[in-house]
Amino acid sequence: MKWPNLRRERPSAALPQEQPMLSHFAESQSADANVRISRLEDFLQFALGDRRESFGEPEAAIAAKRLPAPLQRFYRFAGRWPAPYPDRAPVVFETPEDGFFFTGIAGSHLATLDGLREPPDGRIAVFREQSGNWTAFTEAEGDDPDVWISGHFGDMTAQETPIPSGLSLTQWLVTHCLAAIIWESGNHLCGGTSHSTIGGAKQHAAEIGLTKWHNREAHNSCLLWDATSHPCPELQGTFHLFRDSILIHDRETSLQFAALSPQAATEMRQHASHPQYLE
């Protein structure tokens, strides 16, 4: 199965004929760092549309900072990639940096290149929770360094001294980007939350409709990425591609849907019992 060529509301050239196999993205779970980042770059072009040269940070800006290899590559490829649908965002972006797809409003934040700071201990703060509850750090060099975390996360009391997260930098990057596309309104055309089981649904009936639809067509859902071991609850779970153009974040108790094409957005509204509750 290949990445489908999505019809988008914004101008976009046709995607390349040869797209990576879905299974290749899932296989990157156990692949080396370079393969994992390559799969992420392929996926960003599938989910967000055509990449332009201006979407990457200039080489001089990257060279001016001490960074591990995965961050160098990410910022070079997508360090200035804007959210494709900024008018759908819940706030008005005051600066271009605020509107990058990965910076985050509703969920976790990934620092822009300009926003990276290297503290005295040599670890740089790369990710943080939107309310400041936790911050995640990594080394300033290396092929795929570990990520450390401090603050309030999971069921733990406040952790003042950073501890190992158990995941590498590329694993954090993939998880963060998938979550940003699904949870940030400016990165998709329609979004909605459903309870993962019909009997447990306590929210709007619209969400029950999405759950029933998903359960009926579970055979059309493909696992992309497993982040069940992630230490931060908002990023935990599994990520799936449903019906070729809807991303789903399964957090066990809820399913978050994000439509990547106009047709997918229409289908979500058709299957929701009360589509006015979708964003």
Q: How many CA atoms lie within 13 A of 256 on its CB side?
A: 20
Please give the mean pLDDT across all residues of the chain. Answer: 85
**What mean pLDDT is predicted for residues 88-115?**
84
pTM above 0.75, yes or no: yes
For residues 183 and 220, state if they share a domain.
no
Helix (H) or strand (E) holding 239: strand 237-242
Put residue 50 in one of left, alpha, beta given phi > 0 → left and psi -120 to 50 → alpha. Answer: beta
For residues 106 and 134, state if they share a domain.
yes
- State both tokens at 189: 């055309």
For residues 55 and 82, state if they share a domain.
yes
Q: Of 187, 205, 226, which residue sits at a domain end? A: 187
Distances (CA, A) of 269 to 113, 184, 190, 255, 264: 37, 18, 8, 16, 9
Q: In whole angstroms, what is the distance from residue 150 CA to residue 166 CA? A: 13
- Residue pLDDT, tens place only, 18-30: 344 455 566 667 6
- Residue pLDDT, tens place only, 212-225: 999 999 999 999 99
For residues 58 and 173, state if they share a domain.
yes
CB atoms closer than 10 angstroms to residue 58: 15
- In the chain, how many domains are there? 2
β 237-242/246-250 pair status: antiparallel
**What mean pLDDT is predicted for residues 42-62?**
96
Q: According to the model, what pLDDT value does residue 105 have?
A: 77
Q: Of 187, 213, 241, which residue sits at a domain end? A: 187
Residue 149 falls inside a structural domain = yes
Residue 14 falls inside a structural domain = no
Q: According to the model, what pLDDT value does residue 262 have?
A: 96
- Residue pLDDT, tens place only, 61-80: 999 999 999 999 999 999 99
Comparing 34-48, 78-92, 135-149, 170-184, the range with the smallest average pLDDT is: 78-92
**What mean pLDDT is predicted for residues 173-191?**
96
CB 182 within 8 Å of CB 253 = no
Whether pLDDT at 206 is above 70: no
Q: In whole angstroms, what is the distance from residue 200 CA to residue 251 CA? A: 14
CB 45 within 8 Å of CB 96 = no
* b/e code 108-117 from CB counts within 10 Å (16+ = b): bbbbbbeebe
Q: Of 144, 166, 187, which residue sits at a domain end? A: 187
Whether pLDDT at 83 is above 80: yes
Residue 7 falls inside a structural domain = no
Secondary structure class of 26 (helix, strand, coil): helix
| Chain centroid to CA 118 | 24
Whether pLDDT at 229 is above 70: yes
Q: In whole angstroms, what is the distance from residue 232 CA to residue 107 CA? A: 11
For residues 93 and 158, state if they share a domain.
yes
For residues 80 and 172, state if they share a domain.
yes
| Chain centroid to CA 53 | 21
Residue 6 falls inside a structural domain = no
List the domain range (segments joined by +) for residue 151.
Answer: 19-187
For residues 214 and 135, state if they share a domain.
no
Residue 2 falls inside a structural domain = no
For residues 147 and 26, state if they share a domain.
yes
For residues 206 and 160, state if they share a domain.
no
Distances (CA, A) of 29 to 3, 43, 50, 109: 18, 14, 25, 22
Q: In whole angstroms, what is the distance from residue 191 CA to residue 20 CA? A: 25
CB 209 within 8 Å of CB 201 = no
Query: 120 or 45, which is more confident?
Result: 45
